[in-house]
Amino acid sequence: MINLLLGQPGGGKSYESVAFHVIPAVVQQGRKVITNLPLRLDMWEHFFPGSTKLIEIRGNYQFDGKLHRPFSRVEDFGDTWRKDLGDGNELGPLYIIDECHKSFPFKGTPVAVEEWFAEHRHEGADVLLITQSYGKISSAIRDLVQVVYRCKKATAFGSNEKYIRKVQDGLRGEVVNTSVREYESKYFPLYKSHTKSNGAVLEAMANDIVPLWKRWPFKGAAICVVLFLSIVAYQLLKDDKKKLPPAPAKPVQVQHQEQPASQPLMPVAPAADTAQPRGPEQKMHPYQGLSMHLQALLKGKRTREGVEEDFLGGYVTIAQNGQAIRRVSFDDLRTAGYEIVYESATVISLTYKGVDVGFVVADLPTTGLASKVATAGVTN
């Protein structure tokens, strides 16, 4: 497999290649890595004893009186190292080529090198190409890339301690994963990012870039959210204070009187507290034919006159054919004769004088095709 690691200078390419490609290959898979990355072999031997036997570092070399860059000739490939995976399968080396556009320029790359890339799987080898711009690479090699890793500085977020990595399906495919990664200092001793400096180099950070969470639009949005929640809570508590405690129920004594067998039974009138159809439309409850939608709900306990009691308050939106026409509180519904039962944080159930109205859920009104909808948002 041929993969490509793209990024601007200082964008985290070296860190990404060492932490997530070289270490997994050498330490976890026991695979040979051939690279021109500026790895510090003494530190590798210190942290991972014996690992340097699987690392081969290439550099510029003289051949036939000319200076050649690493991996610029077909003779630089074809390493004979193999790892037996069993069942007749073998694993070849991993080539990690930094600044690959210098070894495989858009014009002038030897045909033999391009042919080796086209047939690299015959050796069980994999290749990770690292460059700043894929447009500078030989088109024959570029077209063989399967996975692209794009690394970018996170200075736009006001931080030099993180970088953004995107995984793309080929050069022209979709981005399948995006993550923000933090530099871990434990990997820094394994390589030297700035090859032209003997000491550590710290790049200057753009001082005029303010982190997102310190910008006024972000702060303003947070303040608006807090104010909105405060207003809703205040309204709920205000409506709750207007609610009077129910009058104590008086015990009722029921007397049973036997009726003579010969006397015919008289029809019994329906109880006074049972809902009956009323009006021209024969409604069973006041809001029949309108949709009801849970807008806000507050459940908890309160202390009234030294006695702790359960509290359930909130608001319900009344809509007609998908258009909200009014908002009523739980107290208004109770005054009208509805009984409210808490089901969950987003669901309540209503009954009206013995008639099961159904569930009211926290959704939005939807516009129907008919001019009148029996129930929408309420399950009877």
Which residues face 378 on adjacent strands? 360
For residue 161, pLDDT over 90 is answered with no
51, two tokens:
């690992």
| Segment 332-369, tens digit of pLDDT | 999 988 999 999 989 999 898 888 888 999 887 776 54
| CA 99 distance to own-chain centroid | 34
Which of 144, 55, 62, 69 is closest to 101 using CA atoms? 69
Instruction: Please identify which residue in the block is written with the tokens 């021109």.
Output: 36
**Quick one: average pLDDT of 86-103?**
93
Domain 2-198+209-213: which CATH number of 3.30.70.270, 3.40.50.300, 3.30.750.24, 3.30.830.10: 3.40.50.300
Q: Pairing state of beta strands 126-131 and 94-97?
A: parallel
For residue 198, pLDDT over 60 is answered with no
Q: Which pLDDT does position 11 carry in this prediction?
A: 86
Question: How many Å apart are CA 148 and CA 171, to the nearest integer?
Answer: 6
| Segment 306-327, tens digit of pLDDT | 788 888 899 999 888 888 888 8
For residue 201, pLDDT over 90 is answered with no
Instruction: Kindly list the domain boundaries of the chain, sorted by start residue.
Output: 2-198+209-213, 291-379
| Segment 96-155, tens digit of pLDDT | 999 999 999 999 999 999 999 999 999 899 999 999 999 999 999 999 999 999 999 887
Largest distance between two CA atoms of the chain: 132
Pick the more confident residue, 241 or 65.
Answer: 65
Q: Which pLDDT does position 245 carry in this prediction?
A: 60
Q: How confident is the model at residue 219 (pLDDT cuts 50, 70, 90)?
A: confident
Ranges 140-149, 179-188, 248-257: which has the least confidence: 248-257
Question: 322 to each of 2, 125, 267, 296, 315, how far by Cα in Å?
Answer: 55, 62, 43, 18, 18
Ranges 26-30, 156-160, 249-253, 308-312: which has the least confidence: 249-253
For residue 287, pLDDT over 50 is answered with yes
Q: Which pLDDT does position 157 carry in this prediction?
A: 66
Which of 77, 28, 27 is closest to 52 using CA atoms? 27
CB distance 155 to 10 below 8 Å: no
Q: Which pLDDT does position 213 carry in this prediction?
A: 56
Which residue stretches of the chain are H helix?
13-17, 23, 41-47, 100-103, 111-118, 139-142, 216-241, 330-336
Q: How confident is the model at residue 248 (pLDDT cuts 50, 70, 90)?
A: low
Percent above pLDDT 90 for the chain: 48
Question: How many Å apart are CA 23 and CA 29, to the nearest integer?
Answer: 9
Q: Which pLDDT does position 369 carry in this prediction?
A: 46
Phi, psi of 229 (to 5 degrees): -65, -35
Contacts within 8 Å (CB) and 24+ apart, 355-359: 355/275, 355/284, 355/285, 356/380, 357/285
Percent above pLDDT 70 for the chain: 78
Q: Between vectors from CA 134 to CA 132 and to CA 136, what angle results, nearest 5°?
A: 90
pTM, to two decimals: 0.55
Q: Which pLDDT does position 56 carry in this prediction?
A: 96
Question: How many Å apart are CA 364 and CA 164, to the nearest integer?
Answer: 37
DSSP 249: P
For residue 117, the tally of other CB atoms under 10 A from its CB is: 24
| Segment 5-60, tens digit of pLDDT | 999 888 889 999 999 999 999 999 999 999 999 999 999 999 999 999 999 999 99
By CB neighbour count within 10 A (0-12 exposed, 13-18 middle, 19+ buried), where does 353 fall? middle
Which residues face 4 on adjacent strands? 129, 148
Whole-number average pLDDT of the chain: 82
